[in-house]
A and B are shown apart, each in its own frame.
Chain A
C-alpha cells in the first residue's frame, strides 16, 4: 500500500529537480503567508465581498492586471532560465527535457496568461468609463470571464509541480503533442488550462462588443468614440471569430488523446498538417488581438501628451478595421516551409505584406499628431516614443519574413524569434505598460513617481535591444529556435552571451517597476491624484480618481471627439452644463457564482488532465449546478439611493 502510494506520488508530483523543489517551497510559503496575513488582519470578509464576488468592471480589471503581472514574472523567470542555459555552449544548467518544458511554458504564459489578461484588464478598467457607461453589458459574465481565466491559468501553472509541464512548444504541434510522443499529462494541462481560460476570453469579446455597440453615452456616435474604444471594438471582432477555432482545435486534440480519435495522429488517417492550419488560423489573429489595443493605448497617449487632437481619426479607424479583417487571411505564413506549393505561398506572402500598409499608416498618424504639438515626456509618453522605432523595425523584419522563399532561410531560426519578440515586446508589452502608467491614477487614486519609472524604462529598453538584436544576427548564422544547447564550433556563443546579458537587464527593469509600485503604495497618501492628473481629453478623466462605484453620477453626453477636452474648453469660457437632477442608480449585485463555477471548472479540468473521470464529472456537475443556480437567481440588482450618490460625490470631489 505504501509502495503504491510512493509510486503514485513520484508520478503525481514532479521530482528530481532542485529548481522544482525550490518552487514547491516558494509556493508553500507564499500560500501560508497569504492565509496568515488575511487571517491576522481579519480580511477574509473583505476579500470575499470586494474581490472574489465582485462584478464591478473596475475591480475585475485590477484583478486581471495583478494576475498578468504575476504571470509576467513567471514567464520572465522562464526566459532568464533559458537564456542562462544558452549563455555558453554545452551548458548543463537545464537538461533538455526541462529546457523544453521551460520554453513551452514561457511562450504559453506570456501570450495567453500575461498579454491576454493584461489586455482584458485595460479593457475592463477603461472602456465603460470612456463611453460614459456605468458598467459593461454583462457584469456577471465579466466576473465569470475573469475567474475562468484565473483558474485556467492556475491549472496550467500547477503542472510545474504536479504531473509535469507540457513540452511540445507553445502551440503543441502534433504528432509531437499526441499520446504517441507525449504520453504524460503535461499536454493535458496545456489543453485544459487554455480551454477553460478560452471560454473567458470569448465571453469577454462578446461582452465588450455589446457594451460598445449598446451602451455608449447619448450623443456618442461611432465616429466620436475614443480611439482606445475603437481598438477594443476591432479586437473583439477578431476574438469572436478566432477563439472558437482554438476551442475546437484543442477539443479535437483532446479527443485524440483521450477518446482514441485520429484527427491529427500519424496513424489511422490522421493529418497533423490540419492542426497546423487550424491552430494558426487562430494564432495569427491572436497576435493582432493583443496588438490592436496597444495601438489604441498609444493613440490616447500620443494625443494627450502632445496636447493635440489625434491626427487622421477616420484613417485610424479604417486602418484598425482593415487590420482586423486582413488578419484572418495571413495564417499560412507561419508554415511557408511546409511545402504547400508556390500558389498558396504566393497568396499568403502577399496578404501578409498588405497588413504592413494600414499599420504603417497608423505610425504616420501618430507622428503627425506629435508634429506641431507640445510633447510632455511623462512616463506613458516615454514608452510610446520608445515603441515607435522598436515596432517599425520589428514590422520591417516581419515584411522580410513574409517574402516566402526568403522565409525558407528565416523560418524557425533566431531571426524569427527576434522578430516576434520585437513586435510583441515593442508593441504589446510597451503598449500595455504605457496604458498601465497612464491609467494608474484613475485605477488607484494616486500617481506613480517618475524617477523609478525612468530607471525601469531605460533598463527595459537597453535590455531589449541588447537581448534581441544579437538574436537577428545569430539567426542569420543558422541557429534554430528551441535548441536546448549548441556547440563551440558553431561560432554562436558570443551573440548568445550578450543576448543573455540583455535578458537580465530586462529583468532588472521589471524589478525597478516592482520597486516603483511598492514605493508608490507605501507613500500613496503623498501622491494622491485628482480626477484629471494628465489634463486628459476623454470622459474617463471627467470623474474622480479612483472612480466611484457607479462611475458617473449623471450620465454624460459624448457629442464630440475628445469630449472631455471640449467640455473643459467650454467651462474655461464659463459655459457649464445645465444642472441635472440625480436619480437612483441601477447597479448589479455581487455574486459568488462566477468564482465557484470556475473552481468547479478547475476540478473538472484537473480530473480530465489525469484521466480521473469521476473528478471530471463531479466538476462538470458542479458547473451545471452553478448555471442552474444563476438561472433561478432573481435578486441580482439594486439601486443606489440619491442621497448616497450625493454624499459620495461630495466627499470625492470635495477632497480632490
Chain B
C-alpha cells in the first residue's frame, strides 16, 4: 500500500511551495534598498509616516480578525462526510450580526476620517513649516526631461542636482515647462504636481545632513525615467561655500541656454552662476494668454486659505 508516502507528499508539497513563495517574497524585502517612505529624514515625511502607521493600525483592527475568521470558516465548514459542525442551510439573516459589521467599520472609518481631515490641513503642502530659522526659497521647473532649480536668494541655478541647507525649511515654488510632472523627494516628504501656468508651493525640510533621492513622479514621455536628481543637505556654512563656488566657477544661464535646455532631451548635472531675472515667473506664465491674469487658477495655498500668499508673486531679489 502506498498510502503513507502519498499523504506525506500531499502535505510536503504545499508546505514547501508555501515556504518557497514566502522566501521569494521576503528575501528581496530584506536585501535591497532603503524604505525611504518609512524612514523619513524630515518633519513632513515623519508626519506622513506617522499617518501611514496610524491608518495601518486602524485598518489592521478589522483586517486581521477577518483574515483569521476567513481561514477558520473555510476550514471548519468543508463538505466532508465526517464534519460534525452545525449545518443550517436556511439561516440567512441576523440583525445582531449585521449591526456589528455595519457599526464597527463605521466607527473605524469615522476615526480614520477625523485623523485624516486633521492631517490634511496640517500637511497642506503650501503651509509654512514651523521653525526658528528663515526658510530658503528654491524655484523648481520640470522640463522635458530634466529638472531646473533656481535659487533666487543666492542667484544661482542648477540642473538635476539640488543643494539645500540641513535643518532649515525649504520653500519650493514649482512649475513646469513641460507636461505635468511631479516633484518627489520621498525621504523628506510627499510630492506635488508641477504644472504650466501654476506656481505651486511645497515646504520640506531635511533634519540631517545627507544625500537624498529625488525624482519626477508623473509620466511625461520618452525619457521620463531620466528625471532623477540627488538632494544634498549640508550645513549652513557648507551650503554658502557651495554657492560661492558655483558663482565663481560656472557659466551663467542665459535666455538662450535656457531655451536650449527646454528643448526635449536629457541633461547632465549642470551648475549656473546666474539666471535671467524673472525666469521662474516667465516659465509659469509662458502659455498664459496676455491680459487674462497671471494664473489660470489659484494656487494650493489660496484654496486652503494659508497665510503666506507671496508665492504667486515671484521673489524678484534674484541677482
Residue of B with least CB distance to A477: B33
Chain A residues whose C-beta falls within 8 Å of the C-beta of B38 in the assembled complex: 476
Range of interface residues on B (Cβ < 8 Å): 35 or more
Residues 351-393 of chain A, each 1 if its beta carbon lies under 8 Å from chain B, else 0 = 0011011001101100111111111110000000100110011
Chain A residues whose C-beta falls within 8 Å of the C-beta of B195 in the assembled complex: 272-273, 338-339
Docked complex Cα distance between A100 and B219 (Å): 9
Chain B residues whose C-beta falls within 8 Å of the C-beta of A168 in the assembled complex: 219, 221
Cβ distance B54 to chain A, nearest Cβ, rounded Å: 9
A360-B62, A389-B67, A412-B182 known; A477+B32 contact, CB < 8 A: yes
Q: Are B51 and A482 in contact (CB under 8 A)?
A: no
Q: Are A272 and B180 in contact (CB under 8 A)?
A: yes
Interface-forming stretch among A401-409, A576-584, A595-603? Answer: A401-409
Residue of B with least CB distance to A169: B219
Interface membership of B224, Cβ < 8 A:
yes
Docked complex Cα distance between A490 and B225 (Å): 13
A173-B179, A266-B196, A353-B113 known; A376+B79 contact, CB < 8 A: yes
Docked complex Cα distance between A620 and B297 (Å): 40
Chain B residues whose C-beta falls within 8 Å of the C-beta of A96 in the assembled complex: 222-225
Docked complex Cα distance between A374 and B45 (Å): 50
Contact of A356 among B28, B109, B124 (CB under 8 A): B109
Q: Are B48 and A342 in contact (CB under 8 A)?
A: no
Residue of B with least CB distance to A310: B92
Interface membership of B66, Cβ < 8 A:
yes
Interface residues of A in 576-617 (CB under 8 A from B): none
Interface-forming stretch among B69-77, B131-139, B236-244? Answer: B69-77
Chain B residues whose C-beta falls within 8 Å of the C-beta of A367 in the assembled complex: 66, 69-70, 73
A342-B121, A478-B186 known; A405+B112 contact, CB < 8 A: no
Interface membership of B163, Cβ < 8 A:
no
Chain B residues whose C-beta falls within 8 Å of the C-beta of A415 in the assembled complex: 37
Interface membership of A70, Cβ < 8 A:
no
Residue of B with least CB distance to A487: B228
Interface membership of B35, Cβ < 8 A:
yes
Docked complex Cα distance between A219 and B126 (Å): 61
Range of interface residues on A (Cβ < 8 Å): 35 or more
Chain A residues whose C-beta falls within 8 Å of the C-beta of B90 in the assembled complex: 308-309
Docked complex Cα distance between A481 and B198 (Å): 24
Docked complex Cα distance between A337 and B184 (Å): 11
Contact of A349 among B56, B120, B216, B300 (CB under 8 A): B120
Q: Are B32 and A493 in contact (CB under 8 A)?
A: yes
Residue of B with least CB distance to A475: B37
Interface membership of A248, Cβ < 8 A:
no
Residues 73-94 of chain B, each 1 if its beta carbon lies under 8 Å from chain A, else 0 = 1100111000101111111111
Interface residues of A in 93-129 (CB under 8 A from B): 96-97, 100
Interface residues of B in 99-139 (CB under 8 A from A): 101-102, 105-106, 109, 112-113, 115-117, 119-125
Chain B residues whose C-beta falls within 8 Å of the C-beta of A413 in the assembled complex: 217
Residue of B with least CB distance to A99: B225
Q: Are B48 and A308 in contact (CB under 8 A)?
A: no
Contact of A491 among B33, B73, B85, B86 (CB under 8 A): B33
Docked complex Cα distance between A501 and B89 (Å): 43
Interface membership of B43, Cβ < 8 A:
no
Interface-forming stretch among A3-11, A429-437, A462-470? Answer: A462-470
Q: Are B28 and A470 in contact (CB under 8 A)?
A: yes
Most buried by B among A344, A350, A487: A350
Residue of B with least CB distance to A338: B193
Cβ distance A609 to chain B, nearest Cβ, rounded Å: 20
Cβ distance B269 to chain A, nearest Cβ, rounded Å: 14
Cβ distance A185 to chain B, nearest Cβ, rounded Å: 16
Interface membership of B191, Cβ < 8 A:
yes
Interface-forming stretch among A140-148, A232-240, A286-294, A311-319? Answer: A311-319
Q: Are A462 and B17 in contact (CB under 8 A)?
A: yes
Docked complex Cα distance between A501 and B20 (Å): 12
Docked complex Cα distance between A402 and B179 (Å): 25
Interface membership of B15, Cβ < 8 A:
no
Docked complex Cα distance between A470 and B86 (Å): 40
Residue of A with least CB distance to B62: A360
Chain B residues whose C-beta falls within 8 Å of the C-beta of A475 in the assembled complex: 37
Interface membership of A267, Cβ < 8 A:
yes
Q: Are B221 and A311 in contact (CB under 8 A)?
A: no
Which 5 A-B residue pairs are closest in the complex by CB-CB distance? A491-B33, A408-B190, A341-B303, A494-B28, A405-B123
Seen from chain A, the residues whose Cβ lies within 8 Å of a Cβ on chain B are 96-97, 100, 167-169, 173-176, 181, 266-269, 271-273, 306-313, 315, 335, 337-346, 349-350, 353-354, 356-357, 360-361, 363-364, 367-377, 385, 388-389, 392-393, 396, 399-400, 402-413, 415, 458, 462, 465-466, 469-470, 473-478, 480-487, 490-495, 497-498, 501-502
Seen from chain B, the residues whose Cβ lies within 8 Å of a Cβ on chain A are 17, 21, 24-25, 27-29, 31-38, 45, 47-48, 51-52, 55-56, 59-60, 62-63, 66-67, 69-70, 73-74, 77-79, 83, 85-94, 97-98, 101-102, 105-106, 109, 112-113, 115-117, 119-125, 179-180, 182, 184, 186-187, 189-193, 195-198, 200, 213, 215-225, 228, 287, 289, 292, 296-297, 299-304
Given contacts A360-B62, A473-B32, 8 further A-B contacts (CB under 8 A): A267-B287, A341-B304, A372-B91, A400-B52, A409-B48, A477-B36, A483-B224, A490-B213
**26 A-B contact pairs sorted by A residue (CB < 8 Å):** A96-B223, A176-B221, A309-B91, A309-B92, A311-B94, A335-B193, A339-B193, A341-B302, A341-B304, A346-B121, A361-B101, A364-B101, A373-B77, A374-B79, A376-B79, A393-B63, A400-B52, A400-B59, A404-B116, A404-B120, A405-B119, A409-B186, A474-B32, A478-B36, A480-B184, A482-B219
